[in-house]
Structure 1
Amino acid sequence: MKRVSFAEFGGPDVLHLEDAEEPHAGSGQIRVAVRAAGVNPVDWRIREGQFQKDRPLELPAGVGQDAAGVVDQIGEHVEGVEVGDRVFGRGSSTYAEFAVLAAWARMPESLTFEEAAGYPSVVETALRIIGQAGVRSGQTLLVSGASGGVGSAVLQIARDRGITVIGTATAANQEYLRGLGALATTYGEGWVERVRRLGQVDAALDLAGSGVIRELVELTGDPRRVISIADLGAPELGARYSGVTGNVQQALAEAVRLIEQGKLHIPVEQSYPLAEAPAAHIDSRAGHTRGRRVIVV
């Protein structure tokens, strides 16, 4: 089978499309014929070696953790799924023709494979950090870098829970944020005052890693109410860095519920073939995404 892998840490040029042995589903796992794989910032962070200190990775390694596809192999002790089912979920080395998933759910009928591949990690992350921020109905959540996949999920989940969201993004994405129910403002000089004019902030999320932790702490008045998924230095300022995955299976069930109720939709901004995985990483790293980027197999 074809898969994207890398044998050394570095820039996007270390990614290569190779012939590899097919993986097989172990106990509690399924294998899918991948139709699309989600592109997440964690993918290029791993490729760059950013997590080697805490989570060493043996090379060569595959890339990707989210996928949507058709079940073609079922491991032991797995129930409730059959060969031929259309599923989306999370596993490993998903930039490939076949991948093993450890958590999955049947795809809602309304989704294409490309759309479904964009949900698993971003919904899990959104649910986790909203919970960690401790924000509840009637309060206001500030989201820095709100137009990407995680931001899109946060805005819609928060709206469903009665939480007011102030979102920051580029000028081009202001209407997109407003369409998701957020109070929107732009980055750049004076952004803190623009946020203050929109309302009192009870908690804040840093999704872009653009060096705003100090300002988010200032706006909330409590560093414990500031969560980052992109700035490894956030704890130095008293904020929290959230990098440990929560309950993916539970998150997928919640995603299905919200999608089927018409309360959650994450658009695909751009799709790439397997051979163009380096370009997908370059674009993902540049940020300012509206929705998701996916690899199509």
Structure 2
Amino acid sequence: MVNAVAATSYEGPSAVSVIEVESRPPQAGQVVVAVRAAALNPFDAKMTSGAAGTDPAKLPLRLGSEAAGVVTAVGEDAVGLGGEPLAVGDEVYGHRLSGAQASELTVNAENLIRKPPEASFGEAAGLLSAGTTAVHGLESVRVTSGDVVLIHGASGGVGRLAAQLAMLRGARVIGTASPKRHAGLAALGIEPVAYGEGLVERVAALAPGGIDAAFDTIGTDEALETSLQLLSDSSRFVTIVNFAAALAAGGQAIGGGPGADPGREIRAAARLTLAGFFADGMIDVQIARSYPLAEARAAYEYLVTGHAGGKVILEP
């Protein structure tokens, strides 16, 4: 039997439990993965509250979409995302893996990438969902060399990767975060500023000529209003949270919200690029906390506080 994380009702994180499900042998194009780490994302928590619907027939609802682990069985023609045949013993990671928060997964090999030997399973598990979102955001506001980019929530999972990727493009990054996170951001080359009253003035002091683009990962009115005051072109503001307000102000919204651009092709194409940067040590993933799979409910309760400052990981 396989241990799997599921919502047993639509009452939020309190409904998260670990259930037992049957192990499945691989079909053609599939592999079985012994999961070593699975990442939590904000949308997972929303699913526990009915974001994907409240049909009682779908309960218990399996949770998670990204994980890393070791291949233990292989079906015919099991080829990874990069075109490489996968074999028993390969260390792999991926996203778009339904029900990824489990001790074992039977999944399509085409959604998996070989893990760099020096990377932890937790880092690998947390890369692709946040990373593809970061790439989509940077592409949408056309970040390029010489730009000054303001990232709201630069210490979070998406924000931290967006900042690293923007700097790889030759941009200068100013990032908002709580003061306790500033040293870590500065070590990456990000110029940290505290959010809160006076944010416009603090950013303007660092960038007297204004900013060229802004990426909002937190969804506050402050993030939108500050960005619009400092941008000369509102279309170079993008959010992954504050959809209606951003669109009304002439900005952009990406992701799964109302009116947002899902960017499926951009995100799909970004996976191998991210994998290359990750393998070369050019980007990293910050792990906020790790929990045993058995403590999945506690992990979800921590995730919804909104103060993780990195990825929350489950370890079977």
Q: Output the TM-score relative to the length of structure 2.
A: 0.85
Q: Output the amino acid matched with 1:272.
A: Y
Q: How many pairs align?
A: 294
Instruction: Name stretches of at least 5 consecutive residues in structure 2 with no aligned partner.
Output: 80-84, 256-261
Q: Which residue of 1 aligns with 2:185?
A: 177
Distance 1:230 1:170, change over 3 A: same
Please state if 1:279 is matched with 2:303: no
Distance 1:231 1:111, change over 3 A: same
Between stretches 116-125 and 226-235, larger displacement belongs to 226-235
Q: Which residue of 2 aligns with 1:147?
A: 155
1:217 counterpart (208, 224, 228): 228
Query: Could you give the per-residue CA deviations for residues 194-214 of structure 1, whole angstroms, max 9, x where no partner exists?
Result: 112211211111111233323
Q: Which residue of 1 aligns with 2:213?
A: 203
Distance 1:208 1:25, change over 3 A: farther
Q: CA deviation at 1:242?
A: 1.0
Contact residue 214 and residue 237 of structure 1 kept, 8 A: no
Distance 1:240 1:3, change over 3 A: same
Contact residue 146 and residue 168 of structure 1 kept, 8 A: yes
Between stretches 65-74 and 163-172, larger displacement belongs to 65-74
Distance 1:119 1:274, change over 3 A: same
Q: CA deviation at 1:227?
A: 1.2
Q: Output the amino acid matched with 2:250.
A: G
Contact residue 128 and residue 246 of structure 1 kept, 8 A: no
Alpha-carbon separation, structure 2, partners of 1:223 and 1:86: 43
Distance 1:179 1:51, change over 3 A: farther
Give aligned-pair identity as a percent. 34
Q: CA deviation at 1:262?
A: 2.4
Structure having the higher Rg: 2
Q: Output the TM-score relative to the length of structure 1.
A: 0.90
Q: Which residue of 2 aligns with 1:68?
A: 68
Q: Which residue of 1 aligns with 2:242?
A: 231
Q: Which residue of 2 aligns with 1:32?
A: 33
Instruction: Name stretches of at least 5 consecutive residues in structure 1 with no aligned partner.
Output: none
Q: Output the amino acid matched with 1:194.
A: R
SS of the aligned residue for 1:48 comes to coil
Distance 1:85 1:171, change over 3 A: same
Q: Which residue of 1 aligns with 2:118?
A: 110
Alpha-carbon separation, structure 1, partners of 2:235 and 2:24: 42
Please state if 1:261 is matched with 2:280: yes
Alpha-carbon separation, structure 2, partners of 1:179 and 1:71: 35
Contact residue 39 and residue 125 of structure 2 kept, 8 A: yes
Contact residue 269 and residue 292 of structure 1 kept, 8 A: yes
Distance 1:269 1:214, change over 3 A: same
Q: CA deviation at 1:69?
A: 0.5
Alpha-carbon separation, structure 1, partners of 2:237 and 2:29: 36
Q: CA deviation at 1:76?
A: 5.0
Q: Which residue of 2 aligns with 1:190?
A: 198
Please state if 1:240 is matched with 2:252: yes
Q: CA deviation at 1:232?
A: 3.6
Between stretches 20-29 and 199-208, larger displacement belongs to 20-29
Distance 1:171 1:241, change over 3 A: same
SS of the aligned residue for 2:264 comes to coil
Q: CA deviation at 1:108?
A: 0.5
Equivalent residues in 2 for 1:74-93, closer than 5 Å: 74-79=74-79, 80-90=85-95, 91-93=97-99
Query: Could you give the per-residue CA deviations for residues 15-45 of structure 1, whole angstroms, max 9, x where no partner exists?
Result: 1111112345455443311110011112112
Q: What's the RMSD between the two structures over aligned residues?
A: 2.2
Between stretches 172-181 and 27-36, larger displacement belongs to 27-36
Contact residue 92 and residue 100 of structure 1 kept, 8 A: no
Q: CA deviation at 1:288?
A: 3.1
SS of the aligned residue for 1:286 comes to coil
Q: Output the amino acid matched with 2:62.
A: G
Query: Could you give the per-residue CA deviations for residues 226-277 of structure 1, whole angstroms, max 9, x where no partner exists?
Result: 1111224333433222112635554332233212322112232210011222
Q: Which residue of 2 aligns with 1:119?
A: 127
